[in-house]
Amino acid sequence: MPDLLRAASKLVAFALLLLGVSAQAEAMRLLHSERSLYREVLVYDAGNIRCMCFTRACRVGRQSCMDRKQPERIVMSYPRMMLASLYVRPAPESILIIGLGGGTLPMALSQMFPQARIDTVEIDPAVVRVARRYFGFRDTGRIQVFEMDGRVFVKRALRQGQRYDLIMLDAFDHEYIPEHLLTREFIGEVKSLLIPQGVLVANTFSTSRLYDHESVTYAAEFDEFFNLKRENRVIIAVNGDLPQDSILERNSTRLEEAFAELGFDARQLLPLFSREVDWDPHARVLTDQYSPANLLNLRKKDPAGR
């Protein structure tokens, strides 16, 4: 009898799971789909939430989401974590963002710092069009969009002598970060664009076969960095010394009101800051000659969705 009960309970649980998946699929309404040179760009509505995805039914992950009733509210966890870089650099005047998505980060930073220059780089014109049409993105005022490869932009900016207070790396395809944006050479180029004590913040996965390789690659250029993890992982590195915890706490207090206007509590991000080395320090550094990111990522371990 106990075996029969266990079998029956498993069948009930499985049926409920199927019902839940079916209900979720029915709740998602495809609003837009277009094939670009790089990917398929899709927009789904589910209730008040609108998301940009690069796979059907967002089966791998969501690139960007917004609340249609409160468009200023930041819905997803990873852009909130990336904004925690402001605890390190609280008032940036020049910002570079590589990877547009729905435009959440440049719009939020423009709201917080209307006088800041914000250069945003996006390789896919389709993503830019979708961000403008469906996510309320406006590249006006001091926001400028450059439709080109992120590494090409960085090399040109170096030749032109440009420098930034804050650089955000948020470039993903439908699977992972393009491999030429993962190497030590690229990270070194980005570091060279930072002013002294400028901040680099990078969005990546919290668990993957690349975790150790990515970590030692950033450590090769920055020695140490802050490691923040929830569904995603956010790396925050400084072109100089990492600030003490007391400075992070003071800056988080300064940002409480601004973050509240974006729909989240600044105090919830402070405990995520970690200096712990939780990777294999002997892993091989990713370089332009050795960057098998696509092969390593095919064997990734249960990566968190974006």
Considering only CA atoms, give the Rg of the chain: 20
Give the CA distances from residue 187 to residues 14, 104, 182, 216, in Å, rounded to whole numbers and listed in that order: 46, 23, 7, 12
The CATH number covering residue 275 comes to 3.40.50.150
SS3 124: coil
Sign of the CA dihedral with 143 first, then 145, 150, and 154 last: negative
> Is 40 domain-assigned?
no
Residues in a beta bridge with 42: 33, 53
- Residue 140, pLDDT score: 81
> Is 133 domain-assigned?
yes
Residues recognised as catalytic: 170
> Is 15 domain-assigned?
no
**Would you give per-residue pLDDT tens digits along the chain (306 residues)?**
444 444 444 443 433 333 333 334 448 899 999 999 998 999 999 999 999 998 888 877 788 999 999 999 999 999 999 999 999 999 999 999 999 999 999 999 999 999 999 999 999 999 999 999 999 999 887 999 999 999 999 999 999 999 999 999 999 876 788 899 999 999 999 999 999 999 999 999 888 888 999 999 999 999 999 999 998 999 999 999 999 999 999 999 999 999 999 999 999 999 999 999 999 999 999 999 987 766 665 444 434 344
Instruction: Indicate the number of domains in the chain.
Output: 1
> Is 47 domain-assigned?
no
- Residue 23, pLDDT score: 39
> Is 116 domain-assigned?
yes
Give residue 111's domain range. Answer: 77-297
CA-nearest of 49, 43, 80 to 66 is 49
Q: What is the pTM of this model?
A: 0.87
> Is 163 domain-assigned?
yes
> Is 260 domain-assigned?
yes
- Residue 27, pLDDT score: 82
